[in-house]
């Protein structure tokens, strides 16, 4: 069964009295272990597509199926389970909560689902993997942009997602840290998860197995 199947997906937005399609008839099929990269010009619809796959934005038409389940057919509880247990999501921009320490930000998706057990060890391992274990007790106001991004990456992995959606995750990182993050994503895809990455960076290319471009709402596979 495919990790993700997207068919005929459209998102129509209204702006300035008119409407336009931010995503137009998108189709993609992603399997276990796939490492997919979507690139394209600003405003092309990449984040809109990713947000629909993440179950955060309702499509105008079309279907998204994950592990054989259609997102549109899920009730609120099932959709929250999908978002919290099945997928990891790294949004574009800053998404770390300012009033929680780094480690509490990483732990938050775990506690939102009141899982039993102590995930602190796992959170520390993830922080170590992204190179900021020494900042576990720090607060976001005292972190750099790249450190905040790495916190978001560790947070996206706390519930061991089957599918990781990452929107420009390396944009605030220096080349060495960007490489490290790409290696982490590559390891995740090898552990039979799927990774869908949105990026502008050309140097991420060598890690990625499948490439898509997105221009004016049109998604195309290029490899
Ligand atoms: N809520 C909204 N209402 C109306 N238009 C929107 C809305 N959200 C996004 N758009 C528009 O939809 C188009 C696609 O936006 P989107 O954020 O998906 O682009 P993107 O490819 O992620 O761009 P970037 O590379 O700059 O992040 C843009 O023209 C944007 O202005
Ligand atoms: Mg975007």
**Which pLDDT tens digit goes with each residue over 153-194?**
999 999 999 999 999 998 888 888 888 889 889 988 998 789
What is the spatial distance between Cα 137 and Cα 25, in angstroms, rounded to a whole number?
Answer: 45
pLDDT score recorded for residue 212:
94
What is the spatial distance between Cα 66 and Cα 125, in angstroms, rounded to a whole number?
Answer: 28
pLDDT score recorded for residue 202:
61
Residue of minimum CA distance from atom 28 in ligand 1: 43
We report the CATH number of the domain holding residue 122 as: 3.40.50.300
Residue of minimum CA distance from atom 7 in ligand 1: 13
Query: Tens of pLDDT along the chain (223 residues)?
Result: 688 999 999 999 999 899 999 999 999 999 999 999 999 999 999 999 999 999 999 999 999 999 889 999 999 999 999 999 899 999 999 999 999 999 999 999 998 887 788 899 999 999 999 999 999 999 999 999 889 999 999 999 999 999 999 999 988 888 888 888 898 899 889 987 899 999 876 666 678 889 999 999 999 999 7
Atom of ligand 1 nearest to the CA of 48: 18
Mutate to test the pocket of ligand 1, among 44, 60, 167, 199 (most ligand atoms within 8 A of CB): 44
Task: Identify the nearest ligand to the CA of 14 by its number.
Answer: 1
C-beta separation of 51 from 26 below 8 A: no
Q: How many domains does the chain have?
A: 1
What is the spatial distance between Cα 53 and Cα 89, in angstroms, rounded to a whole number?
Answer: 10
Task: Identify the nearest ligand to the CA of 90 by its number.
Answer: 2
Residue of minimum CA distance from atom 6 in ligand 1: 13
Residue of minimum CA distance from atom 29 in ligand 1: 43
Residue of minimum CA distance from atom 9 in ligand 1: 48
Distance from residue 2's CA to the centre of ligand 2 (Å): 25
Rg for the chain (alpha carbons), in Å? 17
Task: Identify the nearest ligand to the CA of 39 by its number.
Answer: 1
Q: Is the pTM of this model over 0.85?
A: yes
Atom of ligand 1 nearest to the CA of 44: 21
Residues framing ligand 1 (Cβ under 6 A) = 13, 15, 22, 42-48, 92
pLDDT score recorded for residue 223:
75
pLDDT score recorded for residue 206:
76
**Tokens encoding 5:** 């199947």
Q: Which domain covers residue 183, as residue numbers? A: 4-221
- Helical H segments across the chain, by residue range: 46-53, 76-81, 102-112, 120-129, 145-157, 175-190
């Amino acid at each position: 069964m495919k990790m993700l199947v997207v068919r005929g997906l459209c998102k129509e937005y209204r702006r300035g009295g008119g409407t336009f399609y931010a995503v137009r008839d998108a189709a993609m099929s992603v399997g276990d272990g796939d490492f997919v990269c979507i690139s394209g010009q600003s405003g092309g619809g990449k984040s809109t597509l990713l947000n629909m796959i993440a179950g955060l934005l309702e499509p105008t038409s079309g279907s998204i199926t994950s592990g054989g389940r259609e997102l549109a057919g899920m009730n609120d509880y099932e959709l929250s389970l999908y978002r919290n247990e099945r997928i990891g999501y790294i949004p574009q921009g800053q998404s770390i909560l300012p009033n929680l320490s780094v480690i509490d930000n990483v732990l938050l998706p775990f506690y939102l689902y009141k899982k039993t057990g102590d995930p602190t060890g796992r959170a520390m391992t993830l922080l170590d993997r992204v190179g900021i274990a020494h900042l576990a007790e720090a607060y976001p106001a005292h972190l750099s942009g790249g450190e905040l991004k790495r916190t978001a990456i560790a947070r996206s992995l706390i519930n061991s997602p089957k599918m990781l959606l990452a929107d420009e995750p390396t944009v605030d990182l220096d080349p060495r840290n960007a490489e490290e993050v790409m290696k982490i994503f590559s390891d995740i895809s090898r552990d039979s998860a799927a990774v869908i990455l949105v990026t502008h960076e050309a140097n991420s290319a060598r890690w990625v197995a499948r490439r898509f471009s997105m221009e004016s709402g049109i998604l195309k596979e290029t490899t």
